[in-house]
Amino acid sequence: MIKKFASTFLIFLSLTFAASAELRINVTEGTFKPVPIAITPFDGSRDPELAKVGQDITEVIMNDLESCGLFHIVDPQAHIQSAQDVMTAPRFADWKILNAEALVGGLLKRNGNAFQVDFRLFDVFTESQLTGLSLGSDASNWRRVAHKIADEIYERMTGDKGYFDTRVVYIAESGPEMDRKYRLAIMDYDGANHQFISSGNTRVLTPRFSPDRTKIAYINFGADDRSPTLHIHNLETGQSESIASLEGQRMSPRFSPRGDHLILASAKGGATTLYKMDLGSKRMEKLTASSSSIDIAPCYSPDGTKICYISDRGGKPQIYVRDAAGGEGTRISFSPGYHDNPIWSPRGDLIAFTRHYKGTFYIGVMRPDGSGERMLDSGYLLEGPTWSPNGREIMYTCQSSRESNVGICRVDIVGFNKRKVPIPGQGSYPTW
Amino acid sequence: MRLTITSLLAASALALTACGSCVDECVDVSGQGGPLAAAEAELAAEACVPGSVADFVDNVGDRVFFDFDRSAVRPDGLETLQRQAAWLNTYANYVVTIDGHCDNRGTVEYNLALGERRANAAREKLIAFGVDPARIRVVSYGKNRPVVEQDGSEWAWQQNRVAITVLD
């Protein structure tokens, strides 16, 4: 059984200081230079236990902000003030000498069995507070508190929603290639709080989150490993519902933006066709109607008006876009090679995809009209991109060489900072 | 109609050749001795039982191979499927599942669909050779259940671009 994500209580209180100001990261500009930010180690009010929590929280905030590619963390060795002092009287002139453009301080206090963190974010050059919050939680949830603070800093400085307080479901893989075990697993986006969902007794593939992140649609091959069936796992109840198919092998399930139906593929008679499935009645409605082509890997635009998908009706798998209501799809991928796994950014502005060309796999993005195609990463085997909830990062399956393990990587679409997500074994096919 | 006659002829031809190779094998193995040879002899002996699973796998051939990214049945595959159909028409008590597989140089999802298309291509040939469609189910594993370890060799990739007829 999975521990519920929402078991924490968080109190948001605004800490006022001075008027807010100008420091803002514009992530749409061409060449991007990470903003130097000084994060003073959060102070534990002379309580050793709190001091440890403060230190842990500081590290998580630093990792969040550094790994997103938009920030450069000023070396703590060079700090000239403690967090306590920063909270009350930041010496902006001294921080300017260190080239810190943003400054963060934090203070932990006991609050019964729980603790409270006050933190402030300052613009060093205008010498003003950008934000200040007070968060309360029980001690076991210190990681979420840290991610919330990092989210708040990110949001204040970029104007985008933060995505550090998020989780990822993926397929944990173990064992040799010929006897591989596949398990659904869930973790924080940075690999922490890892938990297995399924036992590994059945082959599971292609999980996708519902929009509210409470359910996972995936394919389960069953106890005999010969009965691929659509399943929906409920993270709150821990139960998996099996939705039997009378004919056709179900593939590629995804939730609609409103979560009321699925869009999926069903293969029968050598053709793979897209369908809508109402989640109440389980009734199927055909979306594509070719008798011979493979139409698979569907995805909705965030507003639900369009779908993108793969079709090999032109010979090789390529990305097509069409109205959700109907009509012929328009091919949008034209660079050499195959294109696969399209997935629409939650911002609506880009479609991420897998490309396979001359033995190399790429993760790339293009606009929904097919223009502006660019590659973000390449390797021996890359596939299955998934967007961060704010559309600024992509996570995907990555294997650098035939001999290396299959793992999970992430890359931001501005600075192209690539990172491996730490997982306990091998893994693939994240959904964020 | 003509198709049915062809497959009946094929069936009788098969019965003859299968029997011949079967006897050879039995004699061959029993000449060697030792525990390993005994185990092999046992397997070979099973293959000698016409209508057994081993007979189908060893003497008929349970797999049909495909070219990279293709799902068209090749001439060698067609011959195998012709033998499979003849055998299945003789031993009409079996139902089969054709497993579709792909090499690992593609994505999970497209390969699931491609594996189904390969398995279905084999299924359609069996139907054309007279096997009752109700006896043939297909399931695709795509690239996720390799048949042989993919060591990067062309041979291993080829072994995994396959439709395998499994007697249920």
Q: Give the integer Cα–Cα distance in Å for A199 and A240.
A: 12
SS3 of chain A: helix, strand, coil, percent, to 5: 15, 45, 40
Contact between residue A425 and residue A174 where contact means Cβ atoms under 8 Å apart: yes
Nearest to A317 among B105, B110, B145 (CB): B110
Same domain as A172, residue A127: no
Same domain assignment for residues A250 and A360: yes
Rounded to a whole number of angstroms, the distance between the first and last alpha carbons of chain A is 20
**Mean pLDDT confidence for A13-20:** 57
Q: Do B116 and B109 meet the contact criterion of CB atoms below 8 Å apart?
A: no
Query: What CATH number has the domain bearing residue A31?
Result: 3.40.50.10070
**Best CA proximity match to A188, nearest among A152, A154, A234, A141:** A141
B124 touches chain A (CB under 8 A): yes
At A149, the pLDDT band (50, 70, 90 cuts) reads very high
A95, A125, A158 - which closes a domain = A158
What's the domain count of chain A? 2
Domain that holds residue A206: 167-431
Output DSSP code: residue A161: P
Q: What is the pLDDT of residue B37?
A: 61
A7 — pLDDT class (breaks 50, 70, 90)? very low
Chain B hits for A381, CB-CB cut-off 8 Å, are 104-105
How far out from the chain centre does Cα A181 lie? Answer: 24
Same domain, A239 and A357: yes
pLDDT at A8: 46
pLDDT score of A27: 59
Q: Domain check: are A313 and A384 in the same one? A: yes
Question: Which CATH number belongs to the domain containing residue A199 in this structure?
Answer: 2.120.10.30
Final residue in a domain of this structure, among A92, A124, A158: A158
Supply the DSSP string of A256-323, one letter for each residue: -TTSSEEEEEEEETTEEEEEEEETTT--EEE----SS-BEEEEEE-TTSSEEEEEE-TTSS-EEEEEE
Residue B167 sits at the chain A interface (C-beta within 8 Å): no
The pLDDT value given to residue B8: 36
For residue B152, the model assigns a pLDDT of: 86
Give the start-to-end residue ranges of the domains of chain B. Answer: 2-167
Q: Are residues A151 and A266 in the same domain?
A: no
| CA A176/CA A426 separation, integer angstroms | 11
3-class state of residue B131 by DSSP: coil
When pLDDT is averaged across residues A23-38 and rounded to a whole number, the result is 74
Note whether A181 and A293 are same-domain residues.
Answer: yes
What is the C-alpha to C-alpha distance for residues A152 and A164, in angstroms, rounded to an integer? Answer: 10
Structure token pair of residue A48: 């050793």
A242 with A125, same domain: the answer is no
SS3 state at A168: strand
- The residue of A173, A294, A338 whose CB has the most chain B CBs within 10 angstroms, and thus the best one to mutate to test that interface, is A294
Q: What is the pLDDT along chain B (168 residues), one digit of tens a residue?
A: 333 333 333 444 444 344 444 444 433 333 344 555 666 666 667 778 999 999 999 999 999 999 998 999 999 999 999 999 999 999 999 999 999 999 999 999 999 999 999 999 999 999 999 999 999 999 999 999 999 998 889 999 999 999 999 999
Partner-chain contact A341 B124, CB within 8 Å: no
Distance CA A241, CA A264 (A): 16
Q: Do A88 and A222 have their domain in common?
A: no
Give yes or no for a contact between A332 and A379, defined as CB atoms under 8 angstroms apart. Answer: no
Same domain, A219 and A96: no
Q: What is the pLDDT of residues A291-304, one digit of tens each?
A: 889 999 999 999 99
Pairing of strands A35-39, A71-73: parallel
A191 and A422 Cβ atoms separated by less than 8 Å? yes
Q: Do B112 and A429 touch (CB under 8 A)?
A: no
Amino acid at A350: L
Give the full edge-to-edge strand order of the sheet including B63-65: B63-65, B162-167, B96-101, B136-142
**Inter-chain touch A206–B120, beta carbons under 8 Å:** no
Res A145 pLDDT > 90? yes
Among A1-15, A101-115, A224-238, the range of highest mean pLDDT: A224-238
| Same-domain pairing of A75 and A145 | yes
Neighbour tally for A344: CB within 10 Å: 23
Average pLDDT taken over every residue of chain A: 92
pLDDT digit string, tens, across residues A337-381: 999 999 999 999 999 999 999 999 999 999 999 999 999 999 999
- With CA atoms as reference, report the closest residue to A3 among A168, A193, A148: A193
Question: Which one-letter DSSP state was computed for residue A423?
Answer: -
A241, two tokens: 């519902």
| A290, A242: one domain | yes
Query: Cα separation of A89 and A86, whole Å?
Result: 5
* B52 near A CB under 8 A: no
pLDDT computed for residue A104 by the predictor: 97
β-pairing verdict for A284-286 and A271-278: antiparallel
- CATH homologous superfamily for B2-167? OmpA-like domain (3.30.1330.60)
Confidence of residue A221 (pLDDT cuts 50, 70, 90): very high
The predicted pLDDT at position B6 comes to 36
Neighbours of A413 (CB within 10 A): 20
At B16 the pLDDT is 39
Tell me whether B116 touches chain A (CB under 8 Å).
yes
Is the pLDDT confidence value at A223 over 90? yes
pLDDT at A316 exceeding the cut of 60: yes
Q: What pLDDT is stored for residue A11 in this prediction? A: 56
Q: What is the mean pLDDT of residues A380-408?
A: 96
The secondary structure element, H or E, covering residue A222 is none
Domain boundary (A134, A158, A182) is at: A158
